[in-house]
Each structure stands twice: as structure tokens, then as C-alpha cells.
Amino acid sequence: MLEIRDLHVTVDGKEILKGLNLSIPAGEVHAVMGPNGSGKSTLSYTLAGREGYDITSGSILYKGEELAALTPDARAAKGFFLALQYPVEIPGVSTMVFLKTALNAQRRARGEDEVDAVKVLRLVREKAKALNITEDMLRRPLNVGFSGGEKKRLEILQMALFEPSLAVLDETDSGLDIDALRLVAEGVNAMRSPARAMLVITHYQRLLDYIVPTRVHVLRAGQIVTSGGPELAKELEKKGYETITGAAA
């Protein structure tokens, strides 16, 4: 599904990713952990195609296609989804209108029929319920005045609505209370499928108790320095990055 080879990325003239390799086959969930500032969000923005994240060398293949040439909206239409570490507020635009606009924009780009307002409403309500997102939130302007946890849940709602082939979740667990964490994890698990791949960026082993990853990678200073099974996360939690990655380096 995703094949990253020797990826170098520069932001504002500074190299942040320095030869990153990562491969996620369909049907698998991979976790990326790593200290603050190691380049995790940079990786997720690069995958989404954000302006200012310049690929200086290496390649990103998604379903066998080079991503670099595609705009972010084209990537979304092709089934890529990024749940942001810091979701953005858009005043005056109701959450429901935003969801409908986005869903139909993606469908249009794929040459599919648009879904009418009533259908979108039904679809969103059904998914919102499972995530404990209220009608009131759907009516309010997008993310405006939402609590940290509410914003994160809304990201997961979007993932559920768009049904991407590849989803990257950037610290979706940060700021969630215990109940919300479980809801989000259940939402993610419900979407696991042989046709879908996911990349979960997190600082906390706890999330990985709920979402058991196929592989765990440690990102440090712009490179994947260690990889292993779910037990690697537990080991990291116990010993810290210094010991583990120090030993591996």
C-alpha cells in the first residue's frame, strides 16, 4: 500500500527527514513512535502533500503511484487520509456542511455521483453516534470552541466517513480522556480491513493496547532507527528512547 524509500524532506531550508524507509502492506497497522521533534508530523504532512514540505530525494509510492506530483486534495480523493495532530478551526462553516462538502468533493474527483444532503446527514449521524459526537457539535462551526478531545473525535469521524485506503493518525490519542480513547480505538479497529493500511503516530503505549499494531517503528532524527513487533512499544515505555535507540544505533 505504502512504500517510502530513502525519503529526504526539507522544511524552510532545514532537512528534517533524512533517509526514511518505511513500508506498510495492505491490511496492516503500523505504529510510529519517537521523541518530540523527531519528524513524525513532518512525515505525516509530507504524505498529505502540504506545501512547504519539500522532498529533496527519495520516493513515496502509494498503491504503486508516486505521490509527490499530486496535490493534497487529489491524494484525499485517491483514498489517503490524515488525522491532524492539531485540527483547524473554520469559523462560520458548520461541521455538517464541511463534511458534506469534503465528501462530495472527493466523490466528484473520482467521477462518482454526489450524495445529497439528506443522505449525508443520515450517514454522518450514524457514525457520529459511535464516537459520541452530538448533533450540537455537527451544527456548530468546524472545530470552533471544540475541546481537544472533541476535535480528535471529529477527525476519526471524518476517517469513518471517507473510508480511506491509507490513514495516518498523528497523535490522535493525545488529549483524550480514558473513555474517549476507547471510543477512538474502537473506531479505528472497526476500520481495520485487508484492503486498508494505517499508520498510527503516538507517544503512548496505552493506545497500542487497544489498537494492536502489526509493526512498531521508532523515528529519531529523521530516520527509522528500530522496528519490531508490538512488544517493542512496551519495551520503549519501560526503558525510554535513549537506551533502545542508543543500543540499536
Partner 1 sequence: MANTETTERVSDLSGEKYKYGFVTDIEMDRAPKGLSEDTVRFISAKKTEPEWMLEWRLEAYQRWLEMREPKWARVHYPPIDYQNSSYYAAPKSQGERPKNLEDIDPKLLETYKKLGIPLSEQMMLAGVAVDAVFDSVSVATTFKQKLTEAGVIFCPISEAIREHPELVRKYLGSVVPTTDNFFATLNSAVFSDGSFVYVPKGVRCPMELSTYFRINASETGQFERTLIIADEDSYVSYLEGCTAPKRDENQLHAAVVELIALDGAEIKYSTVQNWYPGDEEGKGGIFNFVTKRGDCRGKNSKISWTQVETGSAITWKYPSCILRGDNSVGEFYSIAIANNYQQADTGTKMIHLGRNTRSRIVSKGISAGHAENTYRGLVSVHPRAEGARNHTQCDSLLIGGECGAHTVPYIESRCPSASVEHEATTSKISDEQLFYCLSRGIPQDEAVSLIVNGFCREVLQQLPMEFAVEAQKLVGISLEGSVG
Ligand X SMILES: Nc1ncnc2c1ncn2[C@@H]1O[C@H](COP(=O)(O)OP(=O)(O)OP(=O)(O)O)[C@@H](O)[C@H]1O
State the cell numbers at 12: 524552510
74 to 93, contacts with ligand X by CB under 6 A? Answer: 85
CA gyration radius for the chain?
18
| Inter-CA distances, 38 with 33, 35, 190, Å | 9, 6, 30
- Span from 71-79, 197-205, 218-226, 227-235 in contact with partner 1 (CB under 8 A): 71-79
Cα 45 to Cα 171: distance, rounded to the nearest angstrom:
13
* Contacts for 55 with CB less than 8 Å, ≥ 6 apart: 7, 8, 9, 46, 68
Q: Say whether residue 196 binds ligand X (CB under 6 A).
A: no
Q: According to the binding rule CB under 8 A, does residue 73 interact with partner 1?
A: yes
CB nearer to Mg ion: pick between 85 and 226:
85
For Mg ion, the closer of residues 34 and 149 by Cβ is: 34
Among 7, 16, 34, 41, binds Mg ion (CB under 5 A): 41
7 binds, among ligand X, Mg ion, partner 1, none (CB under 5 to 8 A by kind): none
- Alpha helices, H only, 110-162: 117-130, 135-139, 148-162
Which one of Mg ion, ligand X, partner 1, none is in contact with 158 (Cβ closer than 5 to 8 A by kind)? partner 1
Q: Are 26 and 195 in contact (CB under 8 A)?
A: yes
Query: Does residue 115 belong to the site contacting partner 1 (CB under 8 A)?
Result: no
**Secondary structure element (H or E) that encloses residue 22, with its range:** strand 14-24
Site string for partner 1, 147-166 (x = CB under 8 A): -----------x---x----
Task: Give the separation between CA 173 and CA 170, rounded to whole angstroms.
Answer: 8
| CB 104 to Mg ion: min, Å | 30
| Part of the chain binding partner 1 (CB under 8 A), chosen from 31-39, 48-56, 60-68, 182-190 | 48-56
